[in-house]
Amino acid sequence: MTRVVVVSAGVSDASSSTLLAGQIASAITRAEPAVSIEKVELRPFAHDVIDASITGFASPRLQHVHDLLGQADALVVVSPIYKASYTGLFKAFFDAIDQDVLVGKTVLLAATGGTARHSLAMDFAMRPLFAYLQAVVVPTGVFASPHDWGSDGAGALASRVERAVGELLSLLGGSGSGRSASDDIDLFSETMLSISDPRRE
């Protein structure tokens, strides 16, 4: 079964990021009822995330979330935009995961902000982060500002969600980047081979 993990970094109660995450999750279920969806709110893990940034390892409960990401086929990641970028909690969470956990996984980007002027933060901050992690990032990102939640903008937001989810499912149906995280140690790298053969160049 295809597994999607929805990660939301919203921190207020009734957070608009969590609301947006829910809308995207529902759109996935409508389009593909067989997909299994798990939702992760980062707020309850805030202390664990900061501890991990100090100690270099995840607490058992945070490790459980990392394992969920590792088992997922795709991620939906949602962050509020603060001060022109994703929140510190959002970044610290992804800083603490193993380097190759997201390799080859399909990632749908979504964000919320106080005005539509923040929307490019998705493309200038979030997209490079997931490019670095070697994920396959869905071309359409979903940004929601206060305007989108009102009656005027709701239709536009819904259609952006539909479009992004359509792209996500299409990518999931293909071969993606053809890569995934590997736990194997490469015995045949140049440096590895030079250990038993010192003359090797």
Residues lying near other proteins in the complex (CB under 8 A) are found at 50-51, 54-57, 59-60, 185-187, 191-192, 194-196, 198
What are the tokens at 124? 């200038």
Min separation Cβ 79 and other proteins, Å: 24
Q: Which CB, 98 or 123, lies closer to other proteins?
A: 98
Written as one string, the DSSP assignment of 65-89 is HHHHHHH-SEEEEEEEEETTEE-HH
Min separation Cβ 44 and other proteins, Å: 15
Min separation Cβ 91 and other proteins, Å: 18
From CA 81, how far away is CA 108, in angstroms rounded? 16
* Separation of CA 87 from chain center: 13
Q: Which CB, 152 or 197, lies closer to other proteins?
A: 197
Single-letter amino acid code for the residue at 49: V
Q: Which CB, 57 or 132, lies closer to other proteins?
A: 57
Query: What is the sign, positive or negative, of the torsion defined by CA atoms of 23, 28, 30, 33?
Result: negative
Min separation Cβ 193 and other proteins, Å: 10
Cβ-contact 94, 8 below 8 angstroms: no
Q: Which CB, 68 or 120, lies closer to other proteins?
A: 68
